C-alpha cells in the first residue's frame, strides 16, 4: 500500500488493488497471481485475436476522462471482434503510465473497464503495468470465439452482394472536431453532445456481429472511414463496389452539419472512428438480415452493391459517378 493514497503504489500493489478485481470473473486469469493466463481449447471453435494500441496525444487527449479512455480502448477491440463474428472472451491489457499518474485516475480507469466488461461479457485475463517516460501508452489484445473456419473475413465479398452498414456514418469525425475546437455553431447543444459522445465512446455491434457470422460474406468495422474501409473489402476480395451516396445513413446532427455546410459528405465518409459494421451479403439474405438487425436492436442500411472489377464508385441519385476529394482518414 502506498503511503500517499493519491500516488500510485508499486507494480505489485497496483495489480492487486486496481487490476485483480477485473480478472475475478475468469479462472483462467489465476487472479493475476501468475506469469500467464490460460484459455482452454473449445473443440470446433477458433479463437479470434485482435489488438489495438492507443497513445495520448494521438488517439485520445491526455485530459480525456480516464473511464472513457478505458472504455474506448476496450470498445475498439470489441468492435474488431464484432466485425469478425466472434463472441467476446477475455483480454490482455498492457499500460505504460506516466510517473505522475495518481490513484484516482487509475481507479476511474478501472471503473470504466469494469462497466464495459459487464456490458459486453468479457474479462481481464492478464497483462503488464509499467512506467513511461512519455505520455500514457495503452495496448489491449482481445480474444473471442467463432465456429471453426467461421470468422467473418474482409475478403469474402462477391459480385452481386448487397453492401450494408450499421448505425450512422461520420458522427465520430464531427465529434473529434467538437472535442478539439468546441461546439459546431448552428447545431444544438444536444447535437454537439451526441457527436462528442460518438467520438469518445463508440458503440461496438457485438450482438449484430455474432449473428452475421452465418449470414454475411464479408465484414469489417469502420475505423479508417467508410471509403477507406470499403476499399479494404474490395481490395482483399478482388471486386469493385458501387455506393449510392444518398443512401449512406447519417444522424440528424450530421445532416444538420451538412445542411449548414459545416462539413461535406466526403469528410463524413473519410473520417475514422465510426466503429460501425460494414458488410456484404447476397440479396437472398435481405430478409434474414432485417430480422438479425431487429433482434440486435441496431439499424442497418443497404448502401450499394458489390460489382465485378476493382475500386469503389460513389454515385448520385441519377447513378452518375461523383468524384470525392480524398479517400480516407489515416491515423498514422
Chain residues binding its own copies by CB under 8 A are: 10-12, 14, 30, 33-59, 80-81, 83-84, 86, 92, 94-96, 125-135, 137, 139, 141, 143, 146, 148, 151, 153-155, 220-221, 236, 330-332
Judge contact between 71 and 104, C-beta under 8 A.
no
Nearer to its own copies, 94 or 244 (CB): 94
Question: CB of 101: closest distance to its own copies in angstroms?
Answer: 11
Question: CB of 53: closest distance to its own copies in angstroms?
Answer: 4
Question: CB of 317: closest distance to its own copies in angstroms?
Answer: 33
For residue 167, the Cα-to-chain-centroid distance in whole angstroms is 13
User: Residue 204's closest CA among 21, 50, 2?
Assistant: 50
Bridge partners for 164 per DSSP: 279, 302
Question: CB of 79: closest distance to its own copies in angstroms?
Answer: 9
For residue 222, the Cα-to-chain-centroid distance in whole angstroms is 7
Nearer to its own copies, 82 or 254 (CB): 82
Question: CB of 260: closest distance to its own copies in angstroms?
Answer: 32
Nearer to its own copies, 3 or 261 (CB): 3
Helix (H, G, I), strand (E, B) or coil at 208: helix
For residue 178, the Cα-to-chain-centroid distance in whole angstroms is 19
Distance CA 280, CA 62 (A): 37
Nearer to its own copies, 30 or 65 (CB): 30
**Beta-strand runs (E) in 133-168:** 137-147, 162-166
CA distances from 28 to 32, 37, 78, 135 (A): 9, 5, 20, 31
Helix (H, G, I), strand (E, B) or coil at 302: strand
CA distances from 160 to 166, 308, 318, 330 (A): 20, 8, 20, 29
**Lookup: cell for 148:** 471453426
What is Dmax (Cα atoms) for the chain? 70
Question: CB of 115: closest distance to its own copies in angstroms?
Answer: 23
Nearer to its own copies, 238 or 291 (CB): 238
Nearer to its own copies, 27 or 186 (CB): 27
Question: CB of 318: closest distance to its own copies in angstroms?
Answer: 33
Nearer to its own copies, 14 or 174 (CB): 14
User: Residue 32's closest CA among 109, 105, 112, 94?
Assistant: 94
Amino acid at each position: 500500500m502506498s503511503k500517499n493514497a493519491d500516488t500510485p503504489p508499486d507494480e505489485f500493489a497496483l495489480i492487486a488493488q486496481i487490476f485483480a478485481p477485473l480478472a475475478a470473473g475468469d479462472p483462467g486469469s489465476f487472479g493475476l497471481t501468475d506469469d500467464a493466463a490460460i484459455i482452454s481449447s473449445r473443440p470446433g471453435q477458433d479463437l479470434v485475436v485482435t489488438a489495438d494500441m492507443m497513445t495520448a496525444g494521438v488517439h485520445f487527449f491526455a485530459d480525456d476522462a480516464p473511464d472513457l479512455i478505458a472504455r474506448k480502448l476496450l470498445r475498439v477491440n470489441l468492435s474488431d471482434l464484432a466485425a469478425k463474428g466472434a463472441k467476446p472472451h477475455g483480454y490482455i491489457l498492457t499500460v505504460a503510465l506516466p510517473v505522475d499518474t495518481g490513484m484516482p485516475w487509475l481507479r476511474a480507469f478501472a471503473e470504466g473497464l469494469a462497466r464495459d466488461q459487464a456490458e459486453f461479457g468479457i474479462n481481464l485475463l492478464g497483462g503488464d503495468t509499467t512506467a513511461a517516460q512519455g505520455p500514457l501508452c495503452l495496448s489491449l489484445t482481445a480474444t473471442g470465439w467463432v465456429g471453426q473456419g467461421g470468422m467473418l473475413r474482409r475478403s469474402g465479398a462477391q459480385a452481386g452482394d448487397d453492401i450494408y452498414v450499421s448505425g450512422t456514418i461520420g458522427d465520430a469525425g464531427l465529434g473529434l472536431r467538437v472535442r478539439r475546437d468546441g461546439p459546431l455553431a448552428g447545431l444544438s447543444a444536444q447535437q454537439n453532445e451526441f457527436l462528442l459522445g460518438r467520438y469518445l465512446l463508440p458503440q461496438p455491434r457485438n450482438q449484430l456481429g455474432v449473428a452475421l457470422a452465418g449470414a454475411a460474406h464479408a465484414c469489417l468495422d469502420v475505423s479508417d472511414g467508410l471509403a477507406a474501409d470499403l476499399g479494404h473489402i474490395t481490395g482483399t476480395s478482388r471486386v469493385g463496389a458501387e455506393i449510392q451516396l444518398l443512401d449512406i445513413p447519417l444522424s440528424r446532427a450530421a445532416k444538420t452539419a451538412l445542411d449548414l455546410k459545416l462539413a461535406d459528405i466526403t469528410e463524413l465518409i473519410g473520417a475514422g472512428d465510426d466503429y460501425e459494421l460494414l458488410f456484404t451479403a447476397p440479396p437472398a439474405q435481405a430478409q434474414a438480415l432485417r430480422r438479425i438487425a431487429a433482434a440486435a436492436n441496431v439499424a442497418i442500411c443497404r448502401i450499394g452493391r458489390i460489382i465485378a472489377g476493382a475500386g469503389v464508385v460513389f454515385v448520385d441519385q441519377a447513378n452518375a459517378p461523383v468524384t470525392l476529394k480524398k479517400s480516407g482518414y489515416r491515423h498514422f
